[in-house]
Amino acid sequence: MSRTRAVLLSMLLCLGLIAGACASDDPEVEGTNGPDAQEAPEFAEDTTMAAIQQRGTLNVGTKFDQNLFGLKNPITGNIEGFDVEIAKIIAQAIFGGTIEDAGEKVEFTETVSAVREAEIQKGSVDMIVATYTINDTRKGLVDFAGPYFVAGQDIMVAKDNDTIKSVTDLNGKKVCSVQGSTSLKNVQEQAPQADVSISFERYTDCADALKAGRVDAVTTDNVILLGLVKDNPDDFKVVENTFTSEPYGIGITKGDQAFRDFLNDTLEEAYENGSWEEAFDSTVGQAGVEAPEPPAVDRYSSTGEASPAPDPSASTSPDASPSASASPTT
Ligand code: GLU
């Protein structure tokens, strides 16, 4: 359509000549522009939701290098992926409007695996949606809504590698993973003779090390590896033999029960109204993965005060073994 015709059409729409097609006058749905626009709810005064609504921005920590879940598009600069879509669904439930309107109200910050607990505890973000496995160690530091997806740890090798087929095959091999991840801890437990002395902050650095032949394998969640294979289809393959369960949660300040309930309610609504599936299909689905049944959210009872998060610059983190190096050693 030509620009003149497009302008004319939008003028007709806003003159109300096409019923129901124009933005609402209701101040609560200000800026909305589509049939899926939601009204902004009113929240109790002292809640995190009210504070975010008043601020006008939802601050979210996510990954910037994980294709399919959280990736900074090198051309547009937009952050894209399933975790990003989950954050937008939450933003829409707080601010109302359409999912596109809500997307503009989310401020994304890169949070690599090792800093997630510390960033939540510092209050630098309202929540973290970053392929973030819910586990008991982390529950001592932060709380989790969800899970909204369950991944499994797998192994990525060079395309022509036919010797590594399972986690035990990693014994005696050089294996790369990320500091502060469950992946590093799990591989150390299940393949204690694996050499994990090369580890990084980001999985893309592990992929580079595999491509350069500095390691024999990369291990982390299957869906993260899928994103790396999507970027390098001629170089890598996933073994497709998962050996853990990784339920992804939304990390928030420990003890913020009202916010956690709200997030869990919002996830359940998204399961019901199809927006969770839409988010999945438009991201992970693009790699040929069919949307699974969404997992039941776990409304566990959170007890006690948060313990201080360990210093991420130190060589250990709640889920990284003390022997994991903070920087590549070769
Ligand atoms: N899901 C795992 C974790 O939270 C591995 C992926 C990641 O490092 O983000 O540690």
Q: Which of 67, 68, 155, 183 to mutate for ligand 1's pocket (most ligand atoms within 8 Å of CB)?
A: 183
Instruction: Tell whether the model's pLDDT for residue 298 goes beyond 90.
Output: yes
* Across 250-270, average pLDDT: 98
- Give the integer Cα–Cα distance in Å for 254 and 303: 9
Give residue-wise pLDDT tens across range 146-179: 999 999 999 999 999 999 999 999 999 999 999 9
Q: How confident is the model at residue 303 (pLDDT cuts 50, 70, 90)?
A: confident
SS (H, E, C) the chain: CCHHHHHHHHHHHHCCCCCCCCCCCCHHHCCCCCCCCECCCCCCCCCHHHHHHHHCCEEEEECCEECCCEEECCCCCCEECHHHHHHHHHHHHHHCECHHHHHCCEEEEECCHHHHHHHHHHCCCCEECCCCECCHHHHCCEEEEEEEEEECEEEEEECCCCCCCCHHHHCCCEEEEECCCHHHHHHHHHCCCCECCCEECCHHHHHHHHHCCCCCEEEEEHHHHHHHHHHCCCCEEECCCCCCCEEEEEEEECCCHHHHHHHHHHHHHHHHHCHHHHHHHCCHHHHCCCCCCCCCCCCCCCCCCCCCCCCCCCCCECCECCCCCCCCCC
Instruction: Tell whether the model's pLDDT for residue 210 goes beyond 60.
Output: yes
Which of 60-74, 247-261, 308-322 shows the lowest mean pLDDT across its residues? 308-322
Instruction: Tell whether the model's pLDDT for residue 17 goes beyond 50.
Output: no
How many Cα atoms sit within 13 Å of 226 on the Cβ side? 20
Q: Pick the residue whose CA is nearest to atom 6 on ligand 1.
A: 131
Instruction: Tell whether the model's pLDDT for residue 139 goes beyond 90.
Output: yes
* Across 308-324, average pLDDT: 45
Q: In 10 A of CB 63, how many CB atoms?
A: 30
Instruction: Tell whether the model's pLDDT for residue 327 goes beyond 60.
Output: no
- Give the integer Cα–Cα distance in Å for 208 and 328: 12
Q: Virtual CA dihedral for 197, 83, 55, 74, nearest 10 degrees?
A: 70
Between the CA of 248 and the centroid of ligand 1 the distance, in Å, is 8
Contact 173, 216 (CB under 8 A): yes
In the chain, what percentage of residues exceed pLDDT 90?
80
Instruction: Tell whether the model's pLDDT for residue 3 goes beyond 90.
Output: no
Measured from the Cα of 113, ligand 1's closest atom is 8
Spell out the domains of the chain, with CATH numbers in brackets: 48-151+246-320 (3.40.190.10), 153-238 (3.40.190.10)
Residue 144's DSSP bridge partners are 251
What is the pTM (predicted TM-score) of this model?
0.84
Provide CB contacts within 8 A for 244, sequence distance 6+.
152, 153, 182, 186
- Give the integer Cα–Cα distance in Å for 244 and 223: 13
Q: Which of 116, 139, 153, 181 to mutate for ligand 1's pocket (most ligand atoms within 8 Å of CB)?
A: 181
Instruction: Tell whether the model's pLDDT for residue 33 goes beyond 50.
Output: no
Look at the block and give the residue holding tokens 């005060």: 305
* Across 51-61, average pLDDT: 98
Which of 153-162, 307-316, 318-327 shows the lowest mean pLDDT across its residues? 318-327
* Across 61-67, average pLDDT: 98
Residue 36, pLDDT score: 76
Instruction: Tell whether the model's pLDDT for residue 254 goes beyond 60.
Output: yes
Residue from 149, 70, 167 nearest 113 by CA: 70
Residue 158, pLDDT score: 98
* Across 107-120, average pLDDT: 98
Instruction: Tell whether the model's pLDDT for residue 112 goes beyond 50.
Output: yes
Q: How confident is the model at residue 310 (pLDDT cuts 50, 70, 90)?
A: low
Measured from the Cα of 203, ligand 1's closest atom is 8
Q: Is 244 in the pocket of ligand 1 (CB under 6 A)?
A: no
Measured from the Cα of 248, ligand 1's closest atom is 1
Measured from the Cα of 63, ligand 1's closest atom is 9
Residue from 170, 132, 164, 169 nearest 151 by CA: 132
Q: How confident is the model at residue 309 (pLDDT cuts 50, 70, 90)?
A: low
Residue 23, pLDDT score: 36
Instruction: Tell whether the model's pLDDT for residue 20 goes beyond 50.
Output: no
Q: Is 113 in the pocket of ligand 1 (CB under 6 A)?
A: yes
